[in-house]
Chain A
Amino acid sequence: MTPIQMTFSTMFLLGLMGLTFHRTHLLSALLCLESMMLSLFLATSLWALQLSTINIATVPMLLLAFSACEASSGLALLVATARTHGSDHMQNLNLLQC
């Protein structure tokens, strides 16, 4: 595995672990989601540079556009959660327990 691949894999996996194991605030989960998307953006940009083709050079931009949409909807849900539950503490999201 090349050093580049190792680097962005580590970045992604760190973000994924942060998303999974943060138990206090919803905002930290959203931040880790953003860091995962950022690592994917870096990966595709480096991939386009390495292969020196222009076919895949637009992939980072598409990725960025859709991850921005996703982030904004995540923040809208954060605001909605703060309105209905009072804060973004994950412990308050317990209304739907089995």
Chain B
Amino acid sequence: MNPYLLIVLLTSLGLGTALTLSSTHWLLAWLGLEVGTLAILPLMAQRHHPRATEAATKYFIVQATAAATLLFAAFNNAWLQGHSDIQHMSHPLFTSMITLALLLKLGLAPMHTWMPQVIQGVSLNTGLIVSTWQKIAPFILLLQIKQIHPPLLTIIGLASILIGGWGGLNQTQLRKILAYSSIAHLGWILLILQHSTALATYALLIYIFMTSATFITLKKCKATTINMLTTTWTKAPTITLVAPLMLLSLGGLPPLSGFAPKWFILQELTQLNFIPHASIAAMAALLSLSYYLRLSYSITLSLSPNNLPECLQWRVNYPISTPLSSALPAALALTLFLLPLTPSALTLII
């Protein structure tokens, strides 16, 4: 893509999220969300492939519907209340409607069906942006709404964790697996949102690091299906070493940093006496772990069923660096080694 166009689109993406983050009025929040949606559409559809166009169309329809519903509920609430502040909403019906619109934007169950399709249809870099950057703005709006009906968030959170786990089990396409993992992680964040916004922010931050590391690793391996992962050991042996750790961090195993959000969320839930919620969430995390283990098995612990001399590449394309590959060491370090630093990291957010 033309570099000037790319700069304009990426700047607009950043501008959209910045507008939403800095807004106290619902109209400006909606403006920021719309700018973000419009800016990412050319990035999605740039390849003129039928799957890319279909993904862009589905993304557009979903995000536009969610934004319009958001604005409708905001204006109704402002009509009844007199002011359109984000942090002082009082009408329960329209608060629920705004929450549902934001959850549709984030792609949580039962409004999740567009996520695997859209992330499958676009390239890995754009899928990274959709999975990480586009989640920030709706999430910040969700943080600021007080008095959301608690069962709504709990049910949708638990449903997302379960559907994120079950949905990814039968997939061989890596982007669909990452979409379902995104749904599951956002379900964990939603569970704790009403009780502790600091923990929700921390969980989102760790999720962004882990997902970025995964997408960049897949881009470097040029792999989009599980079969393509099996030849990673010939192309980039260091990634073969580190990738299982990264996937286990996504699964939430200690001593990797993915364990910290799950640990604190479960601790907070049990302190507040929500034992069934904590049990269901902890057991549903096993479903996600099974497909992370499948991916790490195919990267590291098995050989692809070819002749051994046939596997080794003897003409390697140098340089093997993509524009994002300079961010890979930072993302991997944050994904793997952040657990000992958790107390100081939490003091930054709390």
Q: Give residues in A with beta carbon < 8 Å to B.
A: 5, 9, 12, 16, 19-20, 26, 29, 33, 36-37, 39-40, 43-44, 47, 59, 62-63, 66, 69-70, 73-74, 77-78, 80-81, 83-85, 93, 95-98
Contacts and interface: CB of A to CB of B under 8 A. Distances in A.
Interface residues of B, number: 38
Contact of B31 (A12, A66, A73): A66
16 contacts: A5-B79, A16-B68, A19-B61, A19-B65, A33-B61, A40-B75, A47-B75, A63-B71, A66-B30, A69-B38, A80-B53, A85-B50, A85-B53, A95-B50, A95-B54, A96-B118
Given A9-B76, A96-B55, A96-B121, A59 B50 contact: no
B51 interface: yes
A84 B48 contact: yes
Given A40-B72, A69-B38, A80-B45, A62 B31 contact: yes
B251 interface: no
A80 B56 contact: yes
B68 A77 contact: no
Contacts of B51: 95-96
Contacts of A74: 60-61, 64
Contact of A98 (B34, B72, B167): B167
Interface string B52-87: 011111101100110011011001101100000000
B27 interface: yes
Question: Chain A contact residues: over half helix, strand or loop, or mixed?
Answer: helix
A47 B74 CA distance: 13
B75 A85 contact: no
Given A47-B79, A84-B50, A98-B176, A36 B68 contact: yes
Contacts of A43: 72, 75, 79
A22 to B, nearest CB: 11
Given A33-B68, A36-B68, A77 B53 contact: yes
B57 A81 contact: yes
Contacts of B38: 69-70, 73
A85 B58 CA distance: 14
B41 interface: yes
B53 A81 contact: yes
A70 B64 contact: yes
Given A33-B65, A98-B116, 7 more contacts: A12-B72, A43-B72, A43-B79, A47-B79, A73-B60, A78-B57, A96-B117
A56 B251 CA distance: 48
A43 B76 CA distance: 9
A84 B49 contact: yes
Contacts of B69: 16
B106 to A, nearest CB: 19
B234 interface: no
A33 B62 CA distance: 11
A74 B58 CA distance: 10
A66 B69 CA distance: 15
Closest 4 CB pairs of A and B: A96-B117, A84-B50, A36-B68, A84-B53
A29 B64 CA distance: 11
B61 A29 contact: yes
Interface centre among B55, B61, B120 (most CB of A within 10 A): B61
A84 B280 CA distance: 44
Contacts of A95: 50-51, 54, 121
Nearest to A58: B27
A83 B68 CA distance: 28
